[in-house]
Amino acid sequence: MDNRPIGVFDSGLGGLTVVRQLLKELEKENIVYFGDTGRVPYGTRSPDTIRRYTAEDCRFLRKFDVKLIIAACGTASSVGAEVLKAQDVPAIGVVDATAKAAVAATKSGRIGVLGTAATVQTDAFGYAMRRERPDVQVFSKACPLFVSLVENGWIDRDDEVTIATAKRYLQPLIEADIDTLILGCTHFPLLAPILQDILGDGVTLIDSGRETAKAAHVLLQQADALCENGDGGCRFFVSDTPQGFSDVAQMFLGRAVSDDVSMVDTAAFQE
């Protein structure tokens, strides 16, 4: 038994979709969430900058004596993978578990990946999937506009702008005849109904948040580190103004949250 919290970070608020899945999978665990809203997005930054931000985010979370760190960010998980491995507590990203789930789901071996520009450039999901199944064919598409659409709440199933954007992004993957699609950015599960409508029921969507939560459960269980008497409490921290946080967080978490969110200065955990 280990009642210490789980630390989760993201470049902004999309990582709350991972928290949402963690609360379902591990309902007794307490969570400390850091959204780096002052430096979002990570997906357009240089690899060196992304690795530095990843290290700083981990450093902040370690102040809370966390037992596990989760990079709830496709970009940090892809580009900052070595930073996560170097931590003195277990630290995982969203890539490996998601890749394994996609390989298990596909029948044709033709898998699409949606992510940020940085995630797509690293081909981290592709590498991880080919490690599981060398003959898999991977078709990746950077979708930078999706992040803005989600964070502005343009996620209704009948939203014409979001539908038009999604159709344009998905067209190359439709032409590639994929049968499985990885939602490689933690914002993207909120667009799943729209994406499924466009792709049809013949394509299986893989939610990186859900698969990462399952992986965290297995890791903690194997280490005999599950929390037995927690209440699923969450503490929220951001690096820019917390104004309006509760409204956006409720959209990501699927449940009401309090306005108890703290703003931190990233300079405080830079080396």
Q: Kindly state the DSSP code that residue 168 receives in the 8-state scheme.
A: H
* Burial (Cβ within 10 Å: 0-12, 13-18, ≥19) of residue 230: middle
Catalytic, 143? Answer: no
The active-site residue out of 58, 143, 185, 227 is: 185
> Is 114 in contact with 183 (CB distance < 8 Å)?
yes
Q: In 3-state terms, what secondary structure has residue 143?
A: coil
With residue 34 as reference, give the H or E element that holds it: strand 31-35
Q: How far is CA 53 from CA 45, 84, 168, 200, 240, in A?
A: 10, 11, 31, 38, 15
Catalytic, 73? Answer: yes
> Is 26 in contact with 68 (CB distance < 8 Å)?
no
CA angle, residues 239, 244, 245, in degrees to nearest 5: 50
- Which of 78, 68, 75, 76 lies closest to 3, judged by CA? 68
The active-site residue out of 73, 143, 227, 234 is: 73
| Cβ neighbours of 133 (radius 10 Å) | 15
Active site residues: 73, 185
